Amino acid sequence: MAKILVVDDKPHIRHVIELWLGAKGHDITCADDGEAALQLLRAEMFDILITDVDMPRMDGMSLIAHDDVVGRLRGVVVLTGREDYADLEAPSNREKIHFLPKPFSPTGVTRLVNQLVSEDILSAS
């Protein structure tokens, strides 16, 4: 299973994702904004980052622009309630970035996480 960092400024969103993915066997760590997440990403190894876009202190797009930490991840799931998410400029590591519009289903998040984990396993074979 994967070690996942979930970043959202809304506690109920973090909680739902943590419960759902944790029940599927994933190891979940949570942060409430991009700055806290960046510190965690630099201190620990994670497989997947799930982040909101609009957050205080550091938004999700600024967070995923840090190639030094995102480059080590299997993938990034960007959750957003913004209508213009398709127009958001993805950083240089865009092949790892997957947008999931809000409202999202926990099943959709789980499916995407499982896909990212299985793609990494297949590419390592």
Domains of the chain in sequence order: 3-124 (3.40.50.2300)
The stretch 41-51 carries a mean pLDDT of 96
pLDDT of 76 above 60: yes
Check whether 95 has a pLDDT greater than 90.
no
Average pLDDT, the chain: 86
Beta sheet of 27-31, edge-to-edge order: 27-31, 3-7, 48-52, 75-80, 97-101
Between 68 and 11, whose confidence is greater?
11
pLDDT surpassing 90 at residue 92 = no
Which of 37, 28, 55 is CA-nearest to residue 109? 28
Say what the pLDDT of residue 96 is.
Answer: 80
pTM of the predicted protein model: 0.88
